[in-house]
Amino acid sequence: MLDRGYMGYNFHVDTKFSVYSLGTCYLDIILTNFPFLEGFGAESETIGDEYRIELGGSALNFSRYCLALGGEPVFTGKIGDDWPGQRVLELMKDLGIKPAMVVDPNVHTNIGPQFVKP
């Protein structure tokens, strides 16, 4: 059981776990089939027709690998009180990673756009 204060934030994990991970997390937006040949225009809109949303960040990726190997990971990171932060929590729970997150209404959740060549 973990119940510690850090910089005025308290979090509590009410579970047994085999792996504890602490670090930065991202909501990765992976833009696949992106039209690189058209380039990025400063005053134009470039549209790709496919994307997917995944969890990102090295510590969170480590938790995903531990889960795949049969571990029971708990992850602590900081997210904003915003839609991307809520999506991070949903994706973690869907995968089976137990979240012990710091939710700060004064920050925005990290977003990592990635452009993939078709």
| Exposed/middle/buried for residue 99 (C-beta within 10 Å: 0-12, 13-18, 19+) | buried
- CATH code at 37? 3.40.1190.20
Give the separation between CA 28 and CA 38, rounded to whole angstroms. 23
Instruction: Supply the range of the domain harboring residue 50.
Output: 2-115
Residue 51's beta-bridge partner residues? Answer: 31
Q: What confidence category does residue 71 fall into, taking pLDDT thresholds of 50, 70 and 90?
A: confident
Q: What confidence category does residue 116 fall into, taking pLDDT thresholds of 50, 70 and 90?
A: confident
Q: Taking the model in full, what pTM does it have?
A: 0.75
The tally of domains found in the chain comes to 1
Q: What pLDDT, on a 0 to 100 scale, did the predictor assign at position 21?
A: 92
Q: What confidence category does residue 91 fall into, taking pLDDT thresholds of 50, 70 and 90?
A: very high
